Amino acid sequence: MNAVSAPTTHTSSNKVRRLAGASVGIPPRHLDFQIPEAPRYFLANNATATTFIAVLSAFFPPGERFFMESVRHFRKDITDPVLKAEIAGFMGQEAIHGREHERLNELLMEQGINTRVPETAVKMALKVLEQFSASQQLAFTTFMEHFTALVGEQLLTDKRFQENAHGEMLQLWLWHAMEELEHKAVAYDVYDTIGNSRLERLIAFPAVTIVMLPAVFASWGYLLAKEGKLFDRKDLRKGLDLILGGRRGLISRILPKMGLFGRKDYHPNKKNTKALEAEWREKLFGENGTLRDQVSNLQSLMH
């Protein structure tokens, strides 16, 4: 069942007309992010934490393309007009995420952080996942969207992370995090429509983990080595505490929730994040929003 409801619109002949993504709460915001001049180590002035975030940024462009292609494969099988509109919004948001992270990655390259290495690593990992059936690839996408939604929620609520990040650089991550929550159920609702094999979902968790984690840690280690910080205990201790540190780390705090994906009754919208999304829409794009002036199509999204 599609989890997001919205009124349908009709033509004069009373036929259902395709809805825009904005009409169902998934607006593709044409953000032209003004990437600031940030310090080289823009997270806690720490190489370990910064290079981890650089790895994540490098993973997004090829990762978003994988997500879009896995959903696009089944787009023709979707007849519900609301879900069609949600898919359109999902595609638009993911395409813009990929583009803006490509721009960020170029900036990091200019600063000497070689994002080409993690990008190549994730492309190789995704090539492995692309050998599976189309439905299994969509199951992979639903699992990875579960992960990105959890990361998004954590970024929007983690005061410790926000206080340690460079203020303007943080804005891109907050925008991306909010939109991950806005479209977190789309791929899963498509998967639900085409069958939703629990076996495929149970395969997705270990398969994605086994394929992707080596790419993450190998490229992260490479970047740290290039920074001369791979054996810097002080830098490692501080950065690992921020990212993986027990109950307070950005990633460690979401790990206990990863297993929810395997539950028989799992659905992304079982965790209601609507209030959090609304809070950050106002902070970022409201009347005094910090990113309002950087969205070229904001007015059209409000009608």
* pLDDT score for 302: 61
| 260: confidence class by pLDDT, cuts 50, 70, 90 | very high
Lowest mean pLDDT: which of 5-14, 219-228, 235-244, 246-255? 5-14
263-280 average pLDDT score = 97
Lowest mean pLDDT: which of 181-185, 218-222, 297-301? 297-301
pLDDT tens profile 78-124? 999 999 999 999 999 999 999 999 999 999 999 999 999 999 999 99
Between residues 69 and 39, the one the model is more confident about: 69
pLDDT tens profile 120-138? 999 999 999 999 999 999 9
- In order of start, what are the domains of the chain with their CATH numbers? 36-268 (1.10.620)
* pLDDT score for 19: 59
pTM: 0.91
* pLDDT score for 18: 45
Three-state SS sequence of the chain: CCCCCCCCEECCCCCEECCCHHHHCCCCCCECCCCCCCCCCCECCCHHHHHHHHHHHHHHHHHHHHHHHHHHCCHHHCCCHHHHHHHHHHHHHHHHHHHHHHHHHHHHHHCCCCCHHHHHHHHHHHHHHCCCCHHHHHHHHHHHHHHHHHHHHHHHHCHHHHHHECHHHHHHHHHHHHHHHHCCCHHHHHHHHHCCCHHHHHHHHHHHHHHHHHHHHHHHHHHHHHCCCCCCHHHHHHHHHHHHCCCCCCCCCCHHHHHHHHCCCCCHHHCCCHHHHHHHHHHHHCCCCCCHHHECCHHHHCC
